[in-house]
């Protein structure tokens, strides 16, 4: 059985998409999902399924919760990641009168692996991380991360993340040293695995939307300390943003791995989810968005045959026959 190495799988997926070799891209998507997909669809089917795609978790620009933390003094230090340059500089000017502000070097983001690299001359639309604090902790965290010193416990303390959640993420980091490309997915999956149809999670701790309320991965989907922080942020949001956050974060999710997931209308028959209003996540990067359109095609094929979803019968849960992976799809419920 072949070892599951995501960077090679995604490299092959990108290459096939650039060549517009849809059978090869379809095959590599199946490997990325560890799923045995049916026959490759034709381009018309892909275009039809692309209508399911929605911007849900984009990893680009400031999130409403981060701005609420910054503007309402909820935390001493706020770290705003993946900002376009103009947005970062505008926020730095806004915060300069009351906060220490530090900007990172320019970087590019890999939207499939969710890793970054320094921007090169001529790179289009580079990103910046902005650190803002009422003391000197912005400079302390910036120095640590600029020197690429991996210390999730120290960073978590600076960012005032609850100790139980720091411990959980530090364990994720220890495991991920064998495969750093899976860190974000491992942490997200750990949380989502505790939001089950029979034992739902607290919707305020759902990490699968730009409207998420924390800025970190909680230890579980029902962590009291994380829920207290999320409640503070929710109360600080303008009414319209708070209502939007609740609508988005209450949506059940069918999760394979980042960035491949879909959300649905919150409609249950016991612990069976009625398949309605399917929205597949879409990212701004063209190659990633094309891969997600392929994912939407695969998902639509299965959902047409399944009026409800249940943990005992999820699309492609059997796994890929020649890929070693322990990441079956998850069905997540919130309350």
**Within this chain, do residues 145 and 34 fall inside the same structural domain, yes or no?**
no
| Domain count for the chain | 2
pLDDT digits (tens, 9 = 90+) for 118-128: 999 989 899 99
The token pair at 245 is: 């956050």
Whether 85 and 228 map to the same domain: the answer is yes
Residue 5: what pLDDT?
76
Q: What is the DSSP letter of 117?
A: E
Residue by residue, DSSP assigns 260-321 as EEEE--S-EETTEEE--S-EEE--SSHHHHHHHHHHHHHHHHHHTT-SEEBTTB-TTTT--T
Which residues on adjacent β-strands are paired with residue 103? 130
Q: Are residues 50 and 107 in the same domain?
A: no
pLDDT single digits (tens) 83-109: 999 999 999 999 998 999 999 999 999
Task: Note whether 117 and 140 are same-domain residues.
Answer: yes
Q: Domain boundary at 201, 226, 246, which?
A: 246
Q: Cα separations (Å) of 286 from 111, 182, 299?
A: 10, 21, 20
The verdict on residue 190 lying in a domain is no
Do 232 and 110 share a domain, yes or no? yes
The answer to whether residue 201 is domain-embedded is no
Domain contains 17 = yes
Determine, yes or no, domain membership for 195: no
Is residue 268, in this structure, part of any structural domain at all? yes
Shared domain for 92 and 143, answered yes or no, is yes
Question: Do 136 and 171 have their domain in common?
Answer: yes
Does 324 reside within a domain? yes
Asked whether residue 135 is assigned to any structural domain, the reply reads yes
Structural domain for 265, as ranges: 2-57+251-332
Residues 77 and 149 in one domain: yes
Q: What is the pLDDT of residues 129-182, one digit of tens each?
A: 999 999 999 999 999 999 877 799 999 999 999 999 999 999 999 988 777 788
Which of 196, 231, 246 terminates a domain? The answer is 246
Residues 133 and 221 in one domain: yes
Residue 260 bridge partners (DSSP): 257
The pTM score is 0.94
Residues 80 and 39 in one domain: no
């Amino acid at each position: 059985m072949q070892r599951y190495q995501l960077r090679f799988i995604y490299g092959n997926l990108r290459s096939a998409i650039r060549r517009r070799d849809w059978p090869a891209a379809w095959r590599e998507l199946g490997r990325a999902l560890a799923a045995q997909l049916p026959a490759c669809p034709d381009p018309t089917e892909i275009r039809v399924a692309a209508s399911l795609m929605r911007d849900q978790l984009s990893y680009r620009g400031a999130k409403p919760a981060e701005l609420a933390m910054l503007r309402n003094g909820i935390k001493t230090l706020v770290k705003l990641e993946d900002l376009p340059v103009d947005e970062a500089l505008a926020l730095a000017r806004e915060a300069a009168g009351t906060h220490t502000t530090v900007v990172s070097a320019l970087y590019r983001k890999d939207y499939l692996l969710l890793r970054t690299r320094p921007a090169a001359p001529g790179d289009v639309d580079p990103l910046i991380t902005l650190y803002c604090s009422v003391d000197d902790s912005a400079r302390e965290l910036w120095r640590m991360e600029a020197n690429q010193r991996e210390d999730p416990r120290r960073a978590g303390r600076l960012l005032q993340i609850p100790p139980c959640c720091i411990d959980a993420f530090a364990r994720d980091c220890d495991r991920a040293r064998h495969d750093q490309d899976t860190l974000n997915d491992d942490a997200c999956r750990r949380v989502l695995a505790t939001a089950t149809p029979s034992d739902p999670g607290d919707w305020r701790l759902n990490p699968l939307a730009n409207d998420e309320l924390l800025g970190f991965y909680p230890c579980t989907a029902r962590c009291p300390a994380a829920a207290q922080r999320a409640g503070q942020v929710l109360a600080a949001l303008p009414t319209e943003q708070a209502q939007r956050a609740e609508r988005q974060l209450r949506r059940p999710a069918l999760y394979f791995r980042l960035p491949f997931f879909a959300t649905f209308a919150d409609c249950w028959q016991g612990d069976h989810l009625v398949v309605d209003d399917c929205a597949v996540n879409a990212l701004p990067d063209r190659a990633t968005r094309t891969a997600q359109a392929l994912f939407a095609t695969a998902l639509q094929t299965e959902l047409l045959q399944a009026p409800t979803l249940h943990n005992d019968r999820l699309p492609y849960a059997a796994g890929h026959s020649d890929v070693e992976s322990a990441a079956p799809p998850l069905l997540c419920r919130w309350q």
